[in-house]
Amino acid sequence: MFVIILLLCLTVFMIFLRNYMRKRSYHWKKLSEFPGDRPLPIFGNMLQLGFDADESAHKLLALWEKHGKQNFRFSVGSDHWILLTEPDDIGTEIYKAFEQNAAMRPFFGNSVSTSEGERWKSVRKLMTTSFHFKTLEQKINDVNKHCELLFEIFDSYQGKETMDLYRYLRPYMFDVVCASFMGIESNKLAKLDDAYLKASAKVIKILTYNFFSYWRNIELLFKLTPHYTEMTETIKIIKQTSTEIIEARRDILHKTIEKPQSNNINVGTDVEKLIESKVNNGECLLDKLLLTKSADEKSISDDIINEELTFFCFTSHYTTAMTISHTLYCLAKYPEIQDRVYEEQRCIFYNNLHKNLTNNELYQMKYLEAVIKESIRVLPTVTKIGRQLHNDFTFKDGRVAPAGSSVIIFYEAAFKNPKVFPEPEKYIPERFLKPIDKFAFIPFSAGRRSCIGYQFAMVTMKATLSNILRRYEVLPGEPGTEPQFVGRIITESKNGLNVRLIKRML
């Protein structure tokens, strides 16, 4: 018994000694220049977050307020975070550091979101032309086409019952993404019980819990739980969907290439030109991944293509669907602002509200764009972006974030910063009609690792919302269906997002 007590005492002593030495170190000296609560040995501050990851955002916001609504420090075990909420610091070169993506890697592998070095550079360069403004007109046509299918469903709800926007906008956006970038028709909107839709609905919650539920980082323990089984089954389904997309497009390409081979004597030249045009026109992202070869004539492996597709298809459809849904919710909540959006549409379309929009009309929708941005500010689509520093970083005020620590762009707090957004609790789209600090609002990040699909996302969201709002008036859902928003990796409502629709008289 005495030996056990002695061992426990020695263990406790070693823990406190290690903690004391850590605090005496250069690393801790620099970290302590930022406000923050005193971390406990071993645990850091993580017990302050509790055991419900869905509550972590609220608790971090409370700490931000406690420490003066400024950048602050927070420790999770031995990992130290500096949460950034000031434009001057968000706008520094920090966003060029490597991301801390351990929680994402099981889902998306070494995709453009998590890769570094040559893999990241080559894939990013290859994908860039598919997001060029010259390709946007066709993307708008894809939105118009799929909106017609969406409206067949919406019409059945109009004036009757509450409808969950997530249920329909997620498959709608997945169909748009597949048509615009994968060159296939996925038809998820006609298959609402599709395995991919069910699995992808779980991804954000699992990612958030993996990131904030620290016990899940104990791999041996985590693998013994049903949570691990759920995660592996979810990953298998979303990756299998990417495999099916690759096979479907490859089959289309084979048939396209076989045509000149069977009808033309200049087979080699024609096929080369066909492949070159598909790689260079930038219209179909998947064609570029399937047909591009390296200097030594090697094709990109299916494993790499699968990782890129799994990440791109998930993030592009999920984030845009959430933002469109949240914007419609805000417009239902603030009908006077919805009226202003509708009046802008009437002015642009000269009362010809049933016509398909083009890029020219889309460019004129300044107020609608401000509404989308204000909706993102109030309900940040992506709540945080993390970067791990490989070297010391000096802020403009002279404080130093030491190498090995993580900097987190804390959007939920940054977008509530009263120094940048006066009366942040109010929904005021007009604030985005005036110039603001360019780093005060960067929901798609900035710099070389910024979101490659920013233009596509904004065009798709504006076009979809224009089509919906010209056709329907959006009202709040029935009492008892109010959304229960949680700040996961992406903001979403735990009980869906319910509204009612009334068809406008065109």
Annotated binding-site ranges: 451
Query: With b meaning 16 or more CB within 10 Å and e meaning fewer, what string describes 57-94?
Result: bebbbebbeebebbbbbbbbeebbbbbbbbbebbbbeb
- Cβ burial of 343 (10 Å; 0-12, 13-18, 19+) is exposed
Tokens found for residue 482: 């109010």
Rg, C-alpha atoms of the chain = 25
Angle at 143 between CA 137 and CA 145, to 5 degrees: 105
**Token couple for 47:** 């017990």
For residue 32, give every residue at least 6 positions away whose Cβ sits within 8 Å of its Cβ, in sequence order, or none: 23, 73
On whether the CB atoms of residues 302 and 167 are closer than 8 A, the answer is no
Structural contact between residues 247 and 286, judged by C-beta atoms closer than 8 angstroms: no
Residue ranges for the binding site for heme?
Answer: 451
Strand partners, 299: 293
Report long-range pairs for 493-497 (Cβ below 8 Å, ≥24 apart): 493/166, 494/54, 496/164, 496/165, 496/166, 496/167, 497/164, 497/165, 497/166, 497/325, 497/326, 497/328, 497/329
Fill in the DSSP letter of residue 215.
Answer: G
The answer to whether the beta carbons of residues 287 and 249 sit under 8 Å apart is yes
Smallest CA-to-CA distance from 330 within 242, 414, 428, 398 is with 428
Q: Taking phi first (over 0 means left), then psi (-120 to 50 degrees means alpha), and beta for anything else, what does residue 69 get?
A: left
- Residue 13, C-beta contacts closer than 8 angstroms, at least 6 positions apart: none
Characterize the bridge pairing of strands 79-84 and 406-410.
parallel
Q: Do 357 and 466 meet the contact criterion of CB atoms below 8 Å apart?
A: yes
Residue type, 65: E
CB atoms within 10 A of CB 4: 8
Q: How far apart are CA 390 and CA 406, in angstroms?
A: 9
- Alpha helices per DSSP H over 1-86: 2-24, 26-31, 56-66
The residues that bridge with 410 in the sheet, in sequence order, are 384
Q: How many CA atoms lie within 13 A of 352 on its CB side?
A: 7
